[in-house]
Amino acid sequence: MSTRLLLGDEALAQGAIDAGLSGAFGYPGTPSTEITEYVQRSPEARSGAVRSHWTANEKTAVETALGMCYAGKRAMASMKHVGLNVAADPFINAAISGTNGGLLINVADDPSMHSSQNEQDSRLYTEIALVPCIEPANQQEAYDVPAYAFDFSERHRIPVLVRLTTRLAHSRAPVTLGSKRPQNELSAPTDRERFILLPSNARRSYDRLIRQQRDFLRESEASPFNRLVEGTDTSLGVIACGIAYNYVLEVTGGAPRFPVLKVGQYPLPLAAVERLLAQCSEILVLEEGYPYVESKLLGSPPRPSPVIRGRLSGDVPRTGELSPQSVASALGFPELQGLPASGAPVSRPPALCPGCPHADTCRVLNDALATRRETGRVFSDIGCYTLGALPPYGAIDTCIEMGASITMAKGASDAGLRPAIALIGDSTFAHSGMTGLLDCVNENSDVTIVIVDNSTVAMTGGQTSSAERRLVAICEGIGVQPAHLRVIEPLPGRHAENVAILEEEISHAGPSVIIARRECIQTLKRGSRRPADKGGGK
Amino acid sequence: MKRDIILAGVGGQGLLSIAAVLGDAALGLGLHLRQCEVHGMAQRGGVVQSHIRYSDVPLYSDLVREGTADLILSLEPMESLRYLPFLRPDGALVTNSVPVKNIPDYPDLDCILGEIRRLPRHRIVDAAVVAEQAGSPQCANLVVLGAATPFLGLAEDSLEAGIRSVFAGKDPRIVETNLRGFHLGVEAARRAS
């Protein structure tokens, strides 16, 4: 047995490889990117024994993984929490069809929104899909989960959602590796109706899924990731989900005096919960993300006793990730005084790198729009160029989710707001901008779409963009008129020329696309983009 | 033996390399280890921090608890002051004196250095000058690591082994420059103390 220093993301990836993984698919997104990257760098992927590539988006990742598991193999798709919104359709319907080989959907939530636009909690998606969820508490468990979860998935023919949160995804600890299991043989399912979700089949499958809920609960009661640790002081009982368990152990020196139910697998192990509730007069729920378990225990109307405390009661902050100090204070431990805070540091927001091509494009946008700012708006998207919102640029007006730039610009233009400009990156365009462009072409919408093509997925560290070198052909194929499909090079020396081109296309009363193409300064400095990767990021 | 350390700096300064060296050195000694870092959007020229913890008894939390850090090790003076509530009252602060002024409202540097000098235990090192002596401005991060050695609880040769291991894939000249920077940092701190 060997020990390696691994991020939670990497431990999960290594655990999957050792559990007989055949394919890993995903779209880059913080804090999940390192799961798929780790698989891609592994000897197993390099030799071709494991398939791993960046897909165009999270939906295609889950569908590809579903297809691979249909063929009897073990497969997984990895994404950040908001990526599951994009992949919700295949995720929820794969629970109805069920799986053949094992299927894991790995989702990294980002409480505190370190690099995200919301802090949605993926555990709630498992309620819609009616699938089990496993939430490792530490890096060793992250390694141990895939072997267990693939077996579970194959035993019950159900996808399993593995939930990580930022701190586990991006923290390193020594991990002891176990034995390696061979990959599954190719074996297509013989019960073909199961995968044809015509209503008559789907109703049957849905009934089966409902009946399975009891089996999932039984599995949770016996899961190695759920554990009731008895304590001597029953004035308080703690339910600690995922990494919250580490904080409880940390602030109690590894030996809490009150009983603690460690939760790492859902549905909630109800028998253990009942045991805890029966012996304690107060319950504190510690969980990353939404007050998911807390709401369940509270009930509606709230049960009179025991008293349930957590995020809803205000004992733990309602938003943001947990920390050792927030857990210590919820447990009633006194604050440890550090040095007084200094008033000197001012905020230092992230910024576009010196020499970044997006900076030049932002200046072009600002100058072209200078006299049109009253009504003109720039609908932007997810990527480094979102930083164009900050000083000194102030170049963009919106950033909602992947692909929303083009379609929001179209809707605003339909409403009469002009000029309506969309600003979107090359990989975000490939992820979910192309369909919106088709809408614009079909309706001859008066929008000007600027695709900032830095030929990489920059924000997540430089993965290869899935539409690389094909943007012009894609736009032509979708039906953009060649006269209004322009390519510019965003360089300071070409500023005036670029402003003139943008102004021309703004005055064209139909869809125009301007591709602002110059390589990311970071990948340029490194001398090469990562050749093994495929795909786009956020 | 147990150390809770906050690493502070600005994106692109090589903070995570220092974390990797400390992690490698601690792991080489068979210590328990937790190290967390920031990825994604925050890295683009913004604030970067990492928590690293090593100990001969088991550790549970990936994050350092406020009021318990033994050391703040910073590659930038203003950033070193951002995390004071994490520092134990008798904790140490080691920082580079060279500012990264990529914001319009960077405070007066003398005020910042003055505030650092008023702390009970501190070391300030001009990592740019020392890195220049070592042969490359790129090794400023290891200069600051060297300057922090008295507070790390790890022997110099363990840290040296960590540097060799973390930069093993690089040009051997880079490894030598980094080692030189580290040792000059150790000496600079010795003179300053």
CA distance B59 to chain A (A): 7
- Is A353's CB within 8 Å of B45's CB? yes
What are A238's two structure tokens? Answer: 């703690």
Contact A115 B81 (CB under 8 A): no
Q: How many CA atoms lie within 13 A of A487 on its CB side?
A: 13
CA of B12, closest CA in chain A: separation in Å?
10
User: Does the beta carbon of A325 lie under 8 angstroms from any beta carbon of chain B?
Assistant: yes
Nearest to A342 among B40, B61, B115 (CB): B115
Handedness of CA B72, B84, A167, B96 (dihedral sign): negative
Q: Does residue A391 belong to the interface with chain B, where contact is any CB pair within 8 Å?
A: yes
Of the partner residues B47, B65, B87, the one whose CB lies closest to the CB of residue A325: B65
Q: Which of A138, A335, A387 is opposite residue B67, by nearest beta carbon?
A: A335
A399 interface with B at CB cutoff 8 Å: no
Q: What is the CA radius of gyration of chain B?
A: 15
Residue at A475: amino acid letter: C
What is the DSSP secondary-structure string of B176-188?
HHHHHHHHHHHHH
What SS3 class is residue A165? Answer: strand
Is the CB of B84 less than 8 angstroms away from the CB of A387? no
- Inter-chain residue contact B59 with A250, CB threshold 8 Å: yes
Cα–Cα distance list, B54 to A7, A131, A173, A235 (Å): 16, 38, 10, 33
CB contact under 8 A, B34 and A168: no
Hey, are the CB atoms on B66 and A336 less than 8 Å from each other?
A: yes
Report the residue of chain A nearest B67, measured CA to CA: A338
Task: Tell me the CATH number at B42.
Answer: 3.40.920.10
| Contact (CB<8Å) B45/A339 | no
Among B45, B58, B84, beta carbon nearest to A339: B84
Q: Mark yes or no for CB contact A33/B39 under 8 Å.
A: yes
Q: Nearest CA of chain B to the CA of A479: how many Å?
A: 34
Q: Is A174's CB within 8 Å of B27's CB? A: yes
Interface subset of A 112-151, CB within 8 angstroms of B: 114-115, 138
A243 at the B interface (CB within 8 A)?
yes
Q: pLDDT at position A538, please?
A: 47
pLDDT, tens digit, for every residue of A194-247? 999 999 999 999 999 999 999 999 999 999 999 999 999 999 999 999 999 999
Considering CB atoms only, which of B33, B61, B81 is closest to A250? B61
Tell me what pLDDT residue A139 has.
98
Q: Residues B25-60: pLDDT tens digits?
A: 999 999 999 999 876 555 667 899 999 999 999 999
The pLDDT value given to residue A388: 95
Cα separation, A133 vs A89, in Å, equals: 17
pLDDT of residue A532: 40
Q: List the single best residue of B31, B33, B54, B60 to mutate versus A (max A Cβ within 10 A).
A: B60
Chain A, window 208-227: residues with a beta carbon less than 8 angstroms from a chain B beta carbon: none
Q: How far is B38 from chain A (nearest CA, A)?
A: 7
Whether A3-221 shares its CATH topology with A227-330 is answered yes
Do residues B57 and B37 lie in contact, with contact meaning Cβ atoms separated by under 8 Å? no
Q: Any chain B CB within 8 A of the CB of A338?
A: yes
Q: A3-221, which class in CATH? A: alpha beta
B45 and A351 within 8 Å at the Cβ level: the answer is yes
The strand pairing partners of A134, in sequence order, are A162, A265
What pLDDT score was predicted for residue A1?
A: 65
Residue among A5, A336, A338 minimizing CB distance to B84: A338
Distance CA A105, CA A140 (A): 19
A335 close to B (CB below 8 A): yes
Sort out which chain B residues have CB atoms less than 8 A from A172's CB and list them.
23, 33-37
Q: Which residue of A has its CA nearest to B92?
A: A339
Cβ-Cβ contacts under 8 Å, B42 against chain A:
114-115, 350
Amino acid identity of residue A70, one-letter, is Y
Q: Which of A241, A14, A239, A247 is nearest to B62 (CA)?
A: A247
Place of tokens 């809408």: A439
Please tell me whether residue A377 adopts helix, strand or coil conformation: strand
* CB nearest A339 (choices: B35, B62, B85): B85
| Chain A (257-316) residues lying within 8 Å, Cβ to Cβ, of chain B | none
Say how far residue A327 (Cα) sits from the centre of its chain.
25
Residue A246 and residue B45: Cβ atoms within 8 Å? no
pLDDT computed for residue A159 by the predictor: 98
DSSP class of residue A194 equals G
Domain boundaries, chain A: 3-221, 227-330, 357-526
Nearby residues of B88 by Cβ (< 8 Å), 6 or more positions away: A338, B67, B68, B69, B70
B82 → closest Cβ in A170, A345, A461: A345
The predicted structure's pLDDT at residue A301: 82
Comparing alpha-carbon positions, the chain A residue that sits nearest to B44 is A350
Give chain A's end-to-end CA distance (angstroms, integer): 36
CA–CA min distance B89, chain A (Å): 5
Contacts of A338 in chain B (CB under 8 A): 66-69, 84-89, 91
User: Mean pLDDT by 10-residue block, N- to C-terminus, for chain A (538 residues)?
Assistant: 92 98 97 97 97 96 98 98 98 98 98 94 98 98 98 98 98 96 97 96 98 98 97 97 98 96 98 96 97 94 88 97 97 95 93 93 97 92 94 95 98 97 97 98 98 90 86 98 98 98 97 97 75 41
* Structural domain count of chain B: 1
* Nearest CB to B44; choose among A33, A344, A387: A387
- DSSP single-letter state for residue A358: H
DSSP one-letter code for B137: G
For A227-330, CATH gives 3.40.50.920
In 3D space, the residue among A258, A312, A257 whose CA is nearest the CA of residue A290 turns out to be A312
Nearest CA in chain A to B41: A115
CATH 1.20.81.30 fits A357-526, yes or no: no
Percent share of chain B, pLDDT over 90: 88
Angle in degrees, CA A438, A443, A447, rounded to 5: 80
**Residue that is written with structure tokens 């795909």 in the block:** A535
Q: What residues make up the domain containing B121?
A: 2-192
Burial of A351-372, coded b for 16+ CB within 10 Å and e otherwise, reads bbbeebbbbbbbbbbbbbbeee
- CB contacts under 8 A, A 39-78 vs B, are none
* pLDDT by 10s per residue, chain B, length 193: 999 999 999 988 999 999 999 999 999 999 999 999 876 555 667 899 999 999 999 999 999 999 999 999 999 999 999 999 999 999 999 999 999 998 999 999 999 999 999 999 999 999 999 999 999 999 999 999 999 999 999 999 999 999 999 999 889 999 999 999 999 999 998 887 6
